[in-house]
A = this chain, B = another copy of it.
Amino acid sequence: MLVHTIKEVRDQVKEWKKEGLTIGLVPTMGALHEGHLSLIKKAGSCCDKVIVSAFVNPIQFGINEDFDKYPRAIEKDYKLCSENGVDILFNPDVKEMYGTNEQTNSNNFTYVTPPYFYVDKLCGASRVGHFDGVCTVVLKLFNIAQPDKAFFGEKDAQQAIIIKKMVKDLNVPVEIITCPIIRSNEGLALSSRNQYLSDEGKKEALALNKILTNINNCYLKGITNVSALKETAFSFLNNHHELEYLEFFDADDLSEKQTADNNTRVFIACRVDGIRLIDNKKLGE
């Protein structure tokens, strides 16, 4: 069922709750790929009913980011959802989510603001306000769908960590389930933004996974010094790449690691021919 209004979701959820059914929510920005489908399948295996939201959320995009050109493909998304047992695909427009405010901002709208310690690094450092927008829309979706469990990909690992922190801090009655990154056969982490890449760009983009895999191999051989592990990255980079960050943080609380251990996650962001891509890997796996 494809629905566009909050009321339709609420009415259906109310019926399901009356019947004692459990609900899984998969929040997405649409343009679904195998990564999203892995979340949907996981939700279907844990919950009686599955709601997928497909909403390109304007308040998590910066002023010079790709909100307008971000891929939208609701018909294809709906087909994929139908084939994968999704009960509701929720595809609201911006007005349905944010009302008639011309430009929603902190002057006229209530925001959820994640802790500064979690957002002043990695993607949050270059995308100021991004995670405020993410937390705000995710809490709205939780309040609309009232799921028992919600499913997020480890591809956006900082996002998943911040959402878990929000849920804990605000006592949100939703269990957060994270699912592993899905990769192409060549190793590229799936992302809706991969559509922006040329064929050559797709080859060059493999560097991200190669860097992470090589770092993990070095770690498994006993190298734990973070500076030494970072040094190994540069041999994979050429003039198609513009490295934004390569950082080692605690996988739960994003504190910085000087020495890598089994709770360390390595995060990378790199522009490939101008297209910004991210990837990450937990060490020791």
Contact = CB atoms under 8 A, between A and B. Distances in A.
Q: How large is the interface on A (under 10, 10 to 19, 20 to 34, 35 or more residues)?
A: 20 to 34
Contact of A140 (B99, B116, B144, B170): B170
A88 to B, nearest CB: 16
B140 A171 contact: yes
Contact of A144 (B106, B165, B171): B171
A173 interface: yes
Nearest to A172: B143
A267 to B, nearest CB: 20
A169 B109 contact: yes
Contacts of A106: 113, 115-116
Nearest to A171: B143
Nearest to A163: B110
Given A140-B170, A170-B140, A171-B6, A114 B108 contact: no
A109 B114 CA distance: 7
A277 interface: no
A275 interface: no
24 contacts: A10-B173, A106-B113, A106-B116, A107-B115, A107-B116, A108-B115, A108-B117, A109-B115, A109-B169, A110-B114, A110-B115, A110-B165, A110-B169, A110-B170, A111-B112, A112-B113, A112-B170, A113-B113, A139-B170, A140-B169, A140-B171, A143-B172, A144-B171, A146-B173
